[in-house]
Homo-oligomer: A and B are copies of this chain.
Amino acid sequence: MSPAPRVCHDPAEFRTALAERLAAAGAGPASLGLVPTMGALHEGHGHLVRRARAENDVVAVSIFVNPLQFGPGEDYERYPRTLEADLELLARHGADLVLAPGLEQMYPGGEPLVRVTAGRLGTVLDGASRPGHFDGALTVVNRLLNLTAPRGGGAFRAYFGEKDAQQLLLVRRMVADFALPVEVRPVPIVRDADGLALSSRNRYLDDDGRRAALVLPRTLAALAAGEVDLPAARARIDAEDGVRLDYLVVVDPATLEPAEPGPGTLALVAARVGTTRLIDNRAL
């Protein structure tokens, strides 16, 4: 167990603490890994932190439930806030610093007026089901990256899970389009023993919901094995009690355009299990 990470609530204090850690990290410009999260951390986040730990001198984690990326009627209010447990997990995986700002600390001038817009890639799939979601997510990620980017010349890497495939693609695209001084590092999906992709929202599921949700990874696996085609895969999910399919598609991962299932393509699924919206994906 590493020592508990230092927690900063104020971004300016966080920047100062970061600069101190980077300066203390040794000779030459030190490298920094950032793991942006909304808290409610699970072992999927743990993998992100461990990867950051292995690749950088200093590891920072942000915990901020960003209202901009929740639509009206979504779960912003009830999104789990579990800071104490989060800090235990982060200590276990060796994070150095945590930025956990309140709303006013994150947006001291009120909600941002100038924002990021995801464009066409933000209006399909999850963007079609959650209008404005990716604009809000990119707006906060851009701000977090700028707040965190070291000024001392060392490498800067940011870690994102592959479960949020569309978000990962959009963050990569934003980094390229904005010329942001960061390297985006994707980290594979982590699954429970039963195959369900880890998600902060899994804790909303009761036992029946949990069992029903397994149709998602199982159907993706069947697609990958060529046991079913896309219409049969959709029918399988539709047939599951308590599961409402939002989309199941196979796309070119660089463009999210529909593609013939085959090597290099990505199957993406979103469904509501009871009131809980889950997403998953798998390379074919």
Contact = CB atoms under 8 A, between A and B. Distances in A.
A180 interface: yes
Given A116-B115, A117-B115, A176-B109, A152 B149 contact: no
Interface in A135-191: 135, 138, 142-143, 146-147, 149-153, 170, 173-174, 176-181
A205 B90 CA distance: 64
A181 B115 contact: no
Contact of A151 (B114, B121, B151, B177): B151
B116 A117 contact: yes
B146 A181 contact: yes
Q: Within the oligomer, what is the number of copies of this chain?
A: 2
Contacts of A120: 113
Interface residues of A, number: 32
Contacts of A112: 119, 177-178
Interface in A222-272: none
A142 B178 contact: yes
A169 to B, nearest CB: 10
A35 interface: no
A118 interface: yes
Nearest to A144: B179
19 contacts: A11-B179, A112-B178, A113-B120, A113-B173, A114-B117, A114-B138, A114-B170, A114-B173, A114-B178, A117-B135, A142-B178, A143-B177, A146-B180, A149-B181, A150-B151, A151-B181, A152-B152, A152-B153, A153-B153
Interface of A: 11, 109, 112-121, 135, 138, 142-143, 146-147, 149-153, 170, 173-174, 176-181
